[in-house]
Amino acid sequence: MTLTDAQIQSLKSEAKAAMEQAHAPYSNFTVGAAILMEGGTIIRGANIENASFGATICAERSAIASALSQGHRGIKAIAVTNATDTKITPCGICRQVIYEYGTDIPIICSNQSGEHMIHSISDLLPHAFTL
């Protein structure tokens, strides 16, 4: 999918707004994600940490779970951002989860300055597990 500049900027802005809702008292590493669904709806997610670290959920999976639980299907693109200079990419678990919903989903990876790079999920996870 080819994204317009307006779509990219909108997703980055929504991911930044989502990041403001993160709960990261242990790492202080806040992350926000925004997903563009088929039909144009944008769903936000933020990382939610827990003292039992295995119960922590990343922003991308938070947004995906929210979208699916609201009845949305068809992920067109995902933006992810953080409050550092690093253009953050999804972690391995998130890459695998995203891949489940499409092999060519564009991932907008951005930083606190708004700089970004775009990769397809297949580029980020070239040998994904599939059933």
DSSP per-residue string spanning 3-68: PPHHHHHHHHHHHHHHHTT-B-TTT---EEEEEEETTS-EEEEE-B--SSGGG-B-HHHHHHHHHH
Amino acid at 74: G
Active-site option among 14, 49, 60, 100: 60
Question: In sequence order, what are the beta bridge partners of 48?
Answer: 23, 57
Residue 60 designated active-site: yes
Q: With H, G, I as helix, E, B as strand and everything else as coil, classify residue 113.
A: coil
Catalytic residues: 60
